[in-house]
Chain A
Amino acid sequence: MIRSITAIFSYLIRGGRGRSVPRFPPIIPAVIISITIICALFGKYIAPYDPEESDLINRLQPPVWHEEGDWSHPLGTDKLGRDMLSRIIIGSRVSLSVAVLALALGAFIGVSAALMAAYFRGWVENVIMRVVESLQPLPIIFIGMILAIVFGPSFWNVIIAMAFIVWARYCRSLRGEAVSIMERDFVLLAKVAGASSFRIMFRHLLPNIANTIMVLITLMVGWAILSEAVLSFLGAGIPPPTPSWGRMVSEGRDYVATRLWLSTVPGTAVVLVVLAFNMFGDWLRDRLDPKLRQM
């Protein structure tokens, strides 16, 4: 009994982590991620209203599950009468694009740094690793805040702040593996055969750490979405009027006493999407690289 409950449960949300790792990803996270990606790409066609258009007559309408709510605005409207559902759909675009751009930028720098450290060793590696270590304790939010107050909040601020943190983590996680691959026979052979350093790094090292890079990226999407939400919540993220989940929560906070959904609905969107990415990332890690196994 308990066994079969565990099995179904695993299948739905964890991709059946048991004694073996199944081929198929966990269903619920996969569905949530697919919906999020579709919303991010085609949100304009899906959203029932213009997310930035206010409609003061219909402001602060409750969602359908509330006794006064109706289907014209399934998730209600905000203080300017903007449709919450449309804002959440379009908000997925902000969340995902920040995450993707920041991680791509961070991964690019981090992977290059790790490859250089592994290839050149010596002082190059030393310098890179010292920098990486000294960035480790810096919380992203403070870099984001400094950027926000000096340059004013913007989309690129968030990305730069995030990439700044991310690259160090990538570099730290990848260097060891890259170094051990450098010492393998085929790389030594390529070196003896006179392959250029660039070629060795990108033709020999990179493909061999690709799996780990994939896993690290997936594992950090959740973190990136969460960080964007936190920065936006604190007013150091995406500026208005672009809909961002984190800022929607903070705008809704003025009404928590009477209209709780204004905060909790976008907050729940963050929770679901981050949870889905984290679960998916865990599954992918178990699948591709059992060595990185955590939970």
Chain B
Amino acid sequence: MRSFILRRLLQLFVTLFVFLTIMFFLVRMTGNPAEAFAPTDATPEDIKRIAAGMGLDKPLYIQYFLYLKDIATGSFGQSHKSLRPVSDLLLTHSINTIKLAAVTVVLSIIIAIPLGVVAAVKRFTLIESSIGVFAVFGMSVPGFWMGIILIELIAVRLGLVPAGGMSGPSSYILPAITMSTLLIAGLVRLLRSSMIDTLDSDFVRFARMKGVRKRPLIWKHTLRNALLPVLGFAGVQIAMFLTGSVVVETVFAWPGLGRLMYSALIERDLPVVQGCVTLFVFFAIFINLLVDILSSYLDPRIRLG
């Protein structure tokens, strides 16, 4: 188990490294990178100062080293707009993102697991078709469309919950619903097909030969095995989920990282965008690692090698 986690950790570290390297070279490819980092109204002195900070007068490998060092120490420079250090902004905003994401993930798992299981168990019935159609809708509906419609119907017309911003618990409702739709749809589709395969497997049939009742058969013998391939696809799901979180925060004016990144992009505030993107990728990697730990817990073949 430890060696498995270490291997995955190394792997994810490589992911981060690949990403940072790509970002580094992309920024250096644009003529004068200091200009890209400078605000639009910067004076030539400002640009020179920024260039010195980035080490642009030094050889490329030193620049690269400096860049990695900056990221490792969490210093992403200064926002042009608010003139605050990017790391401060990241800190305050990421907490809100994490809160919303946690609510959404819990909600999604609570809903997706029963739906996926039921769809597989009740095959060829109206129940399965309905869950199937719901899942295809969930895969196809962009968060911005759903968010706008929910705001209009539930927040504006009915006035049940706030239309945006982060206030009390009720302000979580709409963003969480919007964000969980895609995740639920993806999980349900994966889980259903994996449940169907597992229900068809020899060991489930043997469990029935032993006289195991239907309920433990499904929820213990089948589900636990069926979850493993679903976890195997977690990388893609997590990537889509984080993309969704940027959209949802933008639509609902949620004061999180996604919204920070969106406004920085509109204002062409490169240091902030770079910081947000790096942090998001870091989140993606962290969640992947959690998933790996979970699957090694569920699967003794991984745990015991």
Question: Cβ of A229 and Cβ of B140 under 8 Å apart?
Answer: no
A-contacting residues, B216-253, CB 8 Å: 235-236, 238-240, 242-243, 246-247, 250-251
Main secondary structure of the interface of A (DSSP, over half): helix
Looking at the assembled complex, report how far the CB atom of A149 sits from the nearest CB atom of chain B, in whole angstroms.
5
Q: Report the Cα distance A2→B151, complex, angstroms.
A: 35
A-contacting residues, B24-48, CB 8 Å: 26-27, 29-30, 36
Q: Report the Cα distance A230→B273, complex, angstroms.
A: 17
Looking at the assembled complex, report how far the CB atom of B256 sits from the nearest CB atom of chain A, in whole angstroms.
14
Question: Cβ of A145 and Cβ of B273 under 8 Å apart?
Answer: yes
Quick one: which of A169, A246, A293 contacts B196, CB cutoff 8 A? A293
- The verdict on B93 contacting chain A, using a C-beta distance below 8 Å, is no
Looking at the assembled complex, report how far the CB atom of A267 sits from the nearest CB atom of chain B, in whole angstroms.
3
Closest residue to B148 on the A side, CB-wise? A263
Q: Could you say which residues of chain A place their CB within 8 Å of the CB of B201?
A: none
Question: Cβ of A235 and Cβ of B266 under 8 Å apart?
Answer: yes
Question: Cβ of A256 and Cβ of B265 under 8 Å apart?
Answer: no
Q: Could you say which residues of chain B place their CB within 8 Å of the CB of A138?
A: 15, 19, 239, 281, 284
Q: Report the Cα distance A236→B266, complex, angstroms.
A: 9
Question: Cβ of B243 and Cβ of A139 under 8 Å apart?
Answer: yes
Size category of the binding interface on chain A:
35 or more
Closest residue to A272 on the B side, CB-wise? B140
Looking at the assembled complex, report how far the CB atom of A261 sits from the nearest CB atom of chain B, in whole angstroms.
11
Main secondary structure of the interface of B (DSSP, over half): helix
Question: Cβ of B243 and Cβ of A230 under 8 Å apart?
Answer: yes
- The verdict on A224 contacting chain B, using a C-beta distance below 8 Å, is no
Looking at the assembled complex, report how far the CB atom of A269 sits from the nearest CB atom of chain B, in whole angstroms.
10
How many B residues face the partner with a CB closer than 8 A? 65
Q: Beyond A136-B236, A137-B12: 7 further Cβ-contacts under 8 Å?
A: A18-B124, A19-B124, A141-B242, A150-B270, A230-B247, A256-B148, A267-B144
Q: Could you say which residues of chain B place their CB within 8 Å of the CB of A235?
A: 262, 265-266
Q: List 30 A-B contacts (CB under 8 A).
A: A6-B129, A14-B132, A134-B11, A135-B15, A136-B235, A137-B239, A139-B281, A141-B243, A146-B22, A146-B274, A149-B273, A150-B30, A150-B36, A150-B270, A151-B30, A234-B247, A235-B262, A253-B251, A260-B148, A263-B145, A264-B148, A271-B141, A274-B140, A274-B141, A278-B136, A278-B140, A293-B196, A294-B190, A295-B119, A295-B135
Q: Report the Cα distance A274→B144, complex, angstroms.
A: 14
Looking at the assembled complex, report how far the CB atom of A83 sits from the nearest CB atom of chain B, in whole angstroms.
21
- The verdict on A275 contacting chain B, using a C-beta distance below 8 Å, is yes
B-contacting residues, A226-264, CB 8 Å: 226-227, 229-230, 233-236, 246, 249-250, 253, 256-257, 260, 263-264
- The verdict on A130 contacting chain B, using a C-beta distance below 8 Å, is yes
- The verdict on B80 contacting chain A, using a C-beta distance below 8 Å, is no
Question: Cβ of B145 and Cβ of A271 under 8 Å apart?
Answer: yes
B-contacting residues, A90-149, CB 8 Å: 130-131, 133-143, 145-149
Q: Report the Cα distance A260→B136, complex, angstroms.
A: 25
Q: Report the Cα distance A229→B140, complex, angstroms.
A: 12
Q: Interface residues, chain A, CB within 8 Å of chain B?
A: 2, 5-6, 9-10, 13-14, 17-19, 130-131, 133-143, 145-151, 165, 169, 222, 226-227, 229-230, 233-236, 246, 249-250, 253, 256-257, 260, 263-264, 267-268, 270-271, 274-275, 278-279, 282, 293-295
Q: Report the Cα distance A18→B265, complex, angstroms.
A: 47
Question: Cβ of A142 and Cβ of B145 under 8 Å apart?
Answer: no
Q: Could you say which residues of chain A place their CB within 8 Å of the CB of B60?
A: none
Quick one: which of B133, B242, B277 contacts A13, CB cutoff 8 A? B133
Q: Could you say which residues of chain B place their CB within 8 Å of the CB of A14?
A: 129, 132-133
Q: Could you say which residues of chain A place their CB within 8 Å of the CB of B288?
A: 137
Question: Cβ of A134 and Cβ of B18 under 8 Å apart?
Answer: yes
Looking at the assembled complex, report how far the CB atom of B156 sits from the nearest CB atom of chain A, in whole angstroms.
7
Q: Could you say which residues of chain B place their CB within 8 Å of the CB of A253?
A: 148, 251
Question: Cβ of B246 and Cβ of A141 under 8 Å apart?
Answer: yes
Looking at the assembled complex, report how far the CB atom of A275 sits from the nearest CB atom of chain B, in whole angstroms.
4
Question: Cβ of A150 and Cβ of B27 under 8 Å apart?
Answer: yes
Interface centre among A10, A140, A165, A234 (most CB of B within 10 A): A234
Closest residue to B141 on the A side, CB-wise? A271
Question: Cβ of B142 and Cβ of A226 under 8 Å apart?
Answer: yes
Question: Cβ of A229 and Cβ of B142 under 8 Å apart?
Answer: yes
Q: Report the Cα distance A95→B255, complex, angstroms.
A: 30
- The verdict on B23 contacting chain A, using a C-beta distance below 8 Å, is yes
Q: Could you say which residues of chain B place their CB within 8 Å of the CB of A271?
A: 140-142, 145
Question: Cβ of A267 and Cβ of B142 under 8 Å apart?
Answer: yes
- The verdict on B88 contacting chain A, using a C-beta distance below 8 Å, is no
Question: Cβ of B236 and Cβ of A169 under 8 Å apart?
Answer: yes
The answer to whether A295 and B132 touch (CB under 8 A), given A137-B239, A234-B250, is yes
Q: Could you say which residues of chain B place their CB within 8 Å of the CB of A294?
A: 189-190, 192-193
The answer to whether A146 and B23 touch (CB under 8 A), given A137-B12, A294-B189, A295-B193, is yes
Looking at the assembled complex, report how far the CB atom of A176 sits from the nearest CB atom of chain B, in whole angstroms.
12
A-contacting residues, B256-285, CB 8 Å: 261-262, 265-266, 268, 270, 273-274, 277, 280-281, 284-285
Q: Could you say which residues of chain A place their CB within 8 Å of the CB of B192?
A: 294-295
- The verdict on B112 contacting chain A, using a C-beta distance below 8 Å, is no
Q: Could you say which residues of chain B place their CB within 8 Å of the CB of A279?
A: 136
Question: Cβ of A275 and Cβ of B193 under 8 Å apart?
Answer: no
Q: Report the Cα distance A49→B110, complex, angstroms.
A: 49
